[in-house]
Amino acid sequence: MTDWIQQQWTRFTIWHLFLLPISWIFGAVVRIRRAFYQKGWLKSHRLRVPVIVVGNINVGGTGKTPLVIWLAEQLLLKGFRPGIISRGYGRSTPGCMEVFVSSSPDQVGDEPILIASKVRCPVFVGTDRVAAGRALLEQYPECDVLISDDGLQYYRMQRDVELVVVDAVRGLGNGALLPAGPLRESKTRLNTIDAIVSNGPVRAGDRFSAAPVVEMSLQPKAFRNVLDDQLRADVSDFLNKNIMAIAGIGNPDRFFQQLRSMKLTFSSTSYPDHHAFKPSDFSRFDGNIILMTEKDAVKCKAFARPNFWALPVGAMINDELLIIILNKLSALRS
């Protein structure tokens, strides 16, 4: 069903005769809500440090988490002391909570644990991102900038820098708002942000807005064993082996295509984004090497077997993006 919906969002079909009127209503509600925040009729809150929001205007995975990790690492190198806040999608516990590598995905979500394992800065989750930001700053008063993983539409929290990630392959789909298309906000929203990050090469003719577009690529590293994090493997270790690649992310095809580019031959199974993996999901894959994303590995760590391997990736981004962000932060300090 999910794949069918994604296909409908790439074009216009007979179904859109019924869906477009709903999209127009949805769009009106979105515009009114944002206007209310802009005019102060709905209350928004400013945290005591600058806030950088990394989000998107369309549903589905676009690659925000690698960008958040890259940005935190770059800010650390520049002498900043960043903190990261996230909603913690899929978590079962209320309130705000600090995230550690040892945290349970059920309590804090999968992506925050992955982020906490990658960067040397505090990570907090909370449905109320303002409360999460305040809790982080109270616990770590030395932090001087916050990165919000997602939250572009969370106008209750004021922000100073807005970055939008766009999947280079999917783009903005048919350009329609939900439910006729994949967009949470109109394409004109992109005219108000600081930069667009294209996950993949920008296609000829693509021009999303007046905002600068910076390309991002995800570079694979050595495979790591999910059961024993100290074990590493190279592509050659998996050649001529029975491989099952699994992915429970927003765009599984991106992961599968990456494996193909590494000359691996495999079968594949995809699951919904943020799928809560359990041991029974793998019972039919006995005898196979299981390859997965790092995000999925977080949820499989508790029952991992020696044949579970994750493929780490790192974001490669043009320096132009960091310059845009540093200039904005510098202006705020003056």
Query: What is the residue-wise DSSP string for 40-59?
Result: TSS--B--SS-EEEEE-SBS
Q: What pLDDT shows up at residue 300?
A: 96
Strands 289-293 and 243-247: what pairing? parallel
Does residue 207 surpass a pLDDT of 90? no
* pLDDT in the model for residue 124: 98
Element (H, E) at 273: none
Query: Cβ distance 170 to 60 under 8 Å?
Result: yes
Query: What per-residue confidence (pLDDT) applies to 204?
Result: 59
What pTM value is reported for the model?
0.94
Mean pLDDT on 138-148 = 98
Among residues 222, 202, 146, 171, the alpha carbon closest in space to that of 318 is found at 202
CB 311 within 8 A of CB 292: yes
DSSP 195-207: EEEEESPPPTT--
Token pair 């209503």 is at which residue? 25
Per-residue pLDDT at 294 exceeds 50: yes
Of 283, 296, 284, 288, nearest to 246 (Cα)? Answer: 296
pLDDT band at 97 (very low <50, low <70, confident <90, very high): very high
Reply yes or no on whether the pLDDT at 312 is more than 70.
yes
How high is the pLDDT of residue 60? 78
At 216, is the secondary structure helix, strand, or coil?
Answer: strand
Q: Please, what's the b/e burial string for 215-229 (b: 16 or more CB within 10 A of its CB; e: otherwise)?
A: bbbbeeeebbbbeee
**Ranges 14-18, 185-189, 241-245: which has the least confidence:** 14-18
The better pLDDT of the pair 57, 274 is held by 57
2 band by pLDDT with thresholds 50, 70 and 90: low
Q: Which two tokens stand for residue 209?
A: 């807005």
- Predicted local confidence at residue 1, as pLDDT: 43
pLDDT at 206 over 70: no
pLDDT, residue 90, reads 79
How far is the C-alpha of 279 from the C-alpha of 300, rounded, in Å? 8
What pLDDT, on a 0 to 100 scale, did the predictor assign at position 169? 84
Among the listed residues 259, 235, 229, 236, the one whose alpha carbon sits nearest the alpha carbon of residue 247: 259
